[in-house]
């Protein structure tokens, strides 16, 4: 999608602090972190959100979670605890209409 900021980050057109990428996903530090570790994990292909995912995206979604787990380990929060979440739609707080998982940790998080 031409005007999607996350597509532009994944394509290298917009600078971001990328911490991981492979042929399917890109992960980068959130510009407005809500925890000491706050990384966004996005698919390189444009999906507006979890509601846009189809059964054919099952492998991609699982891969995104495994990448999140590995980034938690690399950031030293795997043993203390972390959260991986996604927002779906405006009422949930989704600001960018490109599927993304938030990896949060590095401090005690409030229960939700």
| Separation CA 100–CA 103 (nearest Å) | 10
pLDDT band at 1 (very low <50, low <70, confident <90, very high): low
The catalytic residue among 46, 63, 98, 100 is: 100
What does the pLDDT look like over 11-70, one tens digit per residue? Answer: 999 999 999 999 999 999 999 999 999 999 999 999 999 999 999 999 999 999 999 999
CA dihedral sign of residues 6, 9, 15, 20: positive
pTM above 0.85, yes or no: yes
Model pLDDT, residue 46: 96
Determine whether 63 is an active site residue. no
The helix (H) or strand (E) run that includes residue 70 is: helix 58-74
Give the pLDDT score at 112.
Answer: 86
* pLDDT at residue 103 greater than cutoff 80: yes
Q: Is the pLDDT of residue 2 over 90?
A: no
**Residue entry with tokens 């929060």:** 77
Instruction: Please answer whether residues 64 and 41 qualify as being in contact, where contact means their C-beta atoms are separated by less than 8 angstroms.
Output: yes
Q: Which domains does the chain have, with CATH numbers?
A: 5-105 (3.30.428.10)
pLDDT of 60-97, one tens digit each?
A: 999 999 999 999 999 999 999 999 999 999 999 999 99
């Amino acid at each position: 999608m031409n005007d999607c900021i996350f597509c532009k980050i994944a394509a290298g057109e917009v600078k971001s602090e990328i911490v991981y990428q492979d042929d399917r996903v890109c992960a980068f530090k959130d510009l407005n972190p809500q925890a000491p570790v706050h990384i966004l994990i996005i698919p390189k292909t444009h999906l507006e959100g979890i509601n846009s995912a189809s059964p054919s995206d099952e492998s991609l979604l699982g891969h995104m979670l495994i990448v999140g787990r590995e980034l938690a380990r690399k950031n030293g929060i795997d043993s203390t605890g972390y959260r991986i979440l996604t927002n779906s739609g405006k009422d949930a707080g989704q600001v960018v209409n490109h599927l993304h998982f938030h990896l949060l940790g590095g401090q005690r998080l409030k229960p939700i």
